[in-house]
Amino acid sequence: MRPFTIIMCLFDNFLDMNKFIICVLWLTISSFCHAQEVLDTVAYRFVYDVQLKTMESSKYLDSDEHWLDIGKNGITSYFSAWKSQRATLLDSLYRVGGDQFDMQRTLQDRGIETSYFDYYVYKNVPATGKQTVILTSADYFQYEEEMGQVWNLEDGDSLILNHPCSKATTNYHGRIWNVWFAQDIPIADGPWKLCGLPGLILAAKDSKAEFVFRCIGILDNPNDLIKKRKDRLITTTPFRVHRSYEFCITDFDSYMNAKHGVGTGRSVLLDRNGKMIPKSKTKRVFIETYKH
C-alpha cells in the first residue's frame, strides 16, 4: 500500500454547532486509480434528491444526489453522483501527481459536494435476480445477494413528477420502508436496493425518516455506460462485508492497523474552531444491518 495522509475536518452546517460533516479528504492515494468493466449502456437515468442522517447526534439530514441508471440489457446501477464525481476527480489528480491539498482546493473550486453514501448497487449482476454491492471506505468491499423485498400494498396514493403513484411498505434489513411507485413506468426498480414492485419507485423513506429518496428528474438515453470496478475488491458474504465496513467507519485507526498493519497515528476530528470532537458524538447511522 502506498503511504497516505488522513485529514478529517468538520464543518458547521445550517449554523448548528452540533451538526458536523466529516470529510475524509485523502484516504489512500493509490486506491482511486482502478480498472473498470462495462456492463451495459444506459437507456434511462432517474435522478433522486436524497436526504440522509449521517451521525446519530445530527439534528438535520445531509443532502446528496443519486442516480439510478437503467441499462438497455436489463442491468441497472445505483450510486451517489457526488461520490462518483469526487472519485473521478481523485483519479485524475492522482495521475498527474496531485496531493490532498490539490484535491481540497479543486473540490471547492468546482463546488463538488461531499457524500456519505458508500453504496454502488448493481442489479441483475452477476445474473438475473441477483445483485452485486460494492461498499467503499478505506477498502472496496463486495458481496452478492438476492434482489428484492416482500411488499405490502397500502392506501396512500401520491403524484410525483406528474406520475400517479401507489404506496407499498416492507421490512428490510432492520428498517421499515414506505415507498411510492408509478405503475405507468413499467420498471420494477427503485433507489438503493429497493425494487420488485410493478412500477418504478419514485419516492421512499424509512419509518424514522432518516433516509429519504425522491425522484426529481428523468433522462432518456444520457449517452453513458454502466461501469463496475473490477480490481482491488475484498469479496465475501454480506454479513462479513458489513462487519468490516462498519469497523472501518467506526474506528478507522484500529481497522488500518488490524487489516493492513499500517500505523496511522491517531486521526483527530476537529470543529471549525479547531477543537477536538469526541468520537461518541460522531457515531454513524447505517442504512441496514445483517444479523448473520
CB atoms within 10 A of CB 4: 16
Q: What is the pTM of this model?
A: 0.85
| Averaged pLDDT score across all residues of the chain | 84
Question: Cα(7)–Cα(244) distance, rounded to whole angstroms?
Answer: 21
Q: Which strand (E) or helix (H) includes residue 71?
A: strand 62-71
Main-chain dihedrals φ then ψ at residue 194, nearest 5 degrees:
-70, 125
Look at residues 92, 73, 184, 135 and name the one whose alpha carbon lies nearest to residue 287: 135
* Stretch among 11-25, 71-85, 179-193, 271-285 having the lowest mean pLDDT: 11-25
Least confident stretch, 15-29, 136-150, 268-282: 15-29
- pLDDT for the residue 108: 77
Q: Span 262-266, mean pLDDT?
A: 61
Whether the bond into 126 is cis, omega within 30 of 0: yes
Q: How many residues does the chain have?
A: 292
Which H or E run contains 243?
A: helix 238-250
On whether the CB atoms of residues 70 and 76 are closer than 8 A, the answer is yes
Query: What is the predicted pLDDT for the residue at 16?
Result: 35
Confidence check: pLDDT of 191 > 60: yes
Beta bridge mates, 203: 180, 214
- d(Cα 286, Cα 53) in Å, to the nearest integer? 9
pLDDT at position 13: 35
Q: What's the rounded mean pLDDT across residues 179-184? A: 98
Question: Angle between the 238-250 and 252-260 helix axes, to the nearest 10 degrees?
Answer: 120
| pLDDT confidence tier of residue 113, bands split at 50, 70 and 90 | confident
CB atoms within 10 A of CB 92: 14
